[in-house]
């Protein structure tokens, strides 16, 4: 067991860094600076150069090359915030040594349990060390596992000066979980030829495809009249919202899709007879299908407005991010490098599409090709989150091998 890696992760996990989608500031929560300042000090202790923590909570550092041989400048990136879906305060990680493959009680209250019946991937880690929540908060392995793995790789390099490498750039970002992690990332001064976000999940995963993503906010204006005299007068906006939702394909919801299948996801609904608002996220890996999904919502709204003879329904639409595959395909050698690094530690690389987004997608479109590799974490954004220590150790080895095998 790598106790130092475990200690790093627990130390970071206990710091509340939950981001806030309702905040307009950057970072969205000032408490993200608490982790950033801790990491700033640790990076200094590890001998990093050009350490910069800016006013928006972006933390950068550099480890200069120690070889006269030619290497690319490689970036390693992870995000410091945790998802707003559940509390990140008073995180109390549980360490399960030599996992026996059975149900795990989360905390002493017995209120929540994590079972292989619900999460069959747990069976893959019998005999391993699992780190879970106590059922009351997020664990924060997304992405504090990635931070711990980067920091442990840097620690190893400090202890092993004989390990030859090129210049390494480090970037820790705020607000990734609310889609803003790359907003103020200084790609130019970062100066990497390419980078990897250490923000994946299952052991061996390498990801260079993600969803194209859009957000749709729909407002429905009804007409409220006393129900006793409502005939031919009342327009119930809730019923219009129900009809709109029913016209979207039922089977194209997140709970019925996988792999490359896109979806419409109703994420918010607030309604009265007089007025209803709905919010959807729209996702698809294929750009043509993505555009068709956006058009489908527009067409449904146009149809319902015509049917009612009034412009009762309005739409606000915003593209959020795009599939990074388009930007990675010209530099596929960085994927081959990651595959070689994973294979070298006895793991079969698994190339999978991200069913979500990542800082790497935005950064790739900003000129920094940036695929994603695994951390060993599972079930992010909820109380059933866990991470496997042995997978974290493999992630550290993969990071080091990427640096080693990148020699030109």
CA 252 to chain centre: 22
Q: Tokens 């950068």, residue?
A: 60
**DSSP string spanning 28-62?**
SSTTHHHHHHHHHHHHHHTT-EEEEE-TTS-EEEE
In 3D space, the residue among 126, 119, 124 whose CA is nearest the CA of residue 100 turns out to be 126
- Residues 220-240 as b/e (b if ≥16 CB within 10 A, e otherwise) read bebeebeeeeeeeebbbbbeb
Q: Tokens 């994973």, residue?
A: 342
**Distance from C-alpha of 176 to C-alpha of 198, rounded to nearest angstrom:** 13
Q: Is the peptide bond before 27 cis (omega within 30 degrees of 0)?
A: yes
85 is catalytic: no
Residue 343, SS3?
A: helix
316 is catalytic: no
CA distances from 144 to 2, 94, 107, 288 (A): 16, 15, 21, 35
Catalytic residue among 62, 81, 205, 385: 81
Catalytic residue among 16, 134, 175, 176: 176
Sign of CA dihedral 3, 154, 341, 122: positive
Is 103:384 a contact under the CB 8 Å cutoff?
A: no
Sign of CA dihedral 170, 175, 177, 181: negative
CA distances from 222 to 218, 269, 275, 373 (A): 13, 15, 5, 48
* Residue 383 in tokens: 């109380």
* Residue 120 in tokens: 């069959």
- Residues 319-341 as b/e (b if ≥16 CB within 10 A, e otherwise) read ebbbbbbebbeeeeebbebbbbb
Q: Could you tell me whether strands 372-373 and 194-198 are parallel, antiparallel, or unpaired per DSSP bridges?
A: parallel
State the catalytic residues.
Answer: 81, 176
């Amino acid at each position: 067991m790598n106790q130092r890696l475990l200690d790093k992760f627990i130390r970071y996990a206990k710091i509340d860094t939950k981001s806030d989608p309702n905040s307009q500031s950057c970072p969205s929560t000032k408490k993200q600076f608490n982790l950033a300042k801790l990491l700033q000090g640790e990076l200094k202790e590890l001998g990093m150069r050009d350490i910069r923590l800016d006013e928006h909570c972006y933390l950068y550092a550099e480890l200069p090359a120690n070889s006269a041989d030619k290497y690319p400048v490689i970036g390693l990136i992870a995000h410091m915030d945790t998802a707003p879906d559940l509390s990140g305060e008073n995180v109390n990680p549980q360490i399960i040594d030599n996992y026996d493959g059975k149900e795990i009680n989360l905390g002493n209250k017995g209120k929540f349990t994590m079972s292989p019946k619900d999460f069959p991937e747990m069976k893959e880690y019998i005999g391993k060390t699992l780190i879970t929540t106590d059922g009351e908060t997020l664990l924060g392995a997304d992405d504090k596992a990635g931070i711990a793995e980067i920091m442990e790789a840097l620690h190893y390099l400090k202890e092993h000066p004989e390990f030859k490498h090129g210049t390494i750039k480090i970037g820790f970002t705020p607000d990734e979980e609310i889609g803003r992690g790359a907003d103020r990332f200084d790609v130019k001064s970062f100066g990497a030829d390419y980078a990897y976000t250490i923000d994946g999940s299952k052991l061996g995963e390498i990801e260079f495809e993600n969803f194209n993503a859009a957000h749709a906010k729909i407002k429905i204006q009804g007409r409220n009249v006393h129900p006793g005299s409502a005939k031919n007068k009342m327009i119930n906006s809730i019923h219009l919202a129900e009809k709109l939702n029913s016209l979207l394909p039922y089977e194209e919801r997140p709970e019925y899709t996988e792999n490359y299948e896109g979806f419409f996801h109703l994420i918010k609904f607030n309604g009265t007879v007089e007025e209803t608002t709905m919010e959807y996220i729209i996702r698809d890996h294929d750009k043509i299908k993505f555009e068709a999904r956006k058009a489908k919502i527009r067409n449904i709204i146009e149809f319902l407005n015509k049917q009612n003879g009034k412009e009762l329904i309005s739409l606000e639409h915003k593209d959020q991010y795009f599939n990074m595959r388009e930007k990675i395909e010209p530099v596929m050698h960085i994927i081959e490098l990651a595959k070689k690094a994973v294979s070298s530690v006895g793991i079969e690389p698994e190339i999978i599409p991200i069913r979500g987004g990542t800082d790497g997608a935005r950064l790739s479109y900003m000129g920094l090709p940036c695929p994603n590799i695994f951390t060993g974490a599972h079930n992010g954004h909820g109380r059933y989150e866990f991470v496997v220590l042995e997978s974290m150790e493999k992630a550290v080895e993969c990071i080091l091998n990427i640096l080693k095998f990148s020699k030109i």
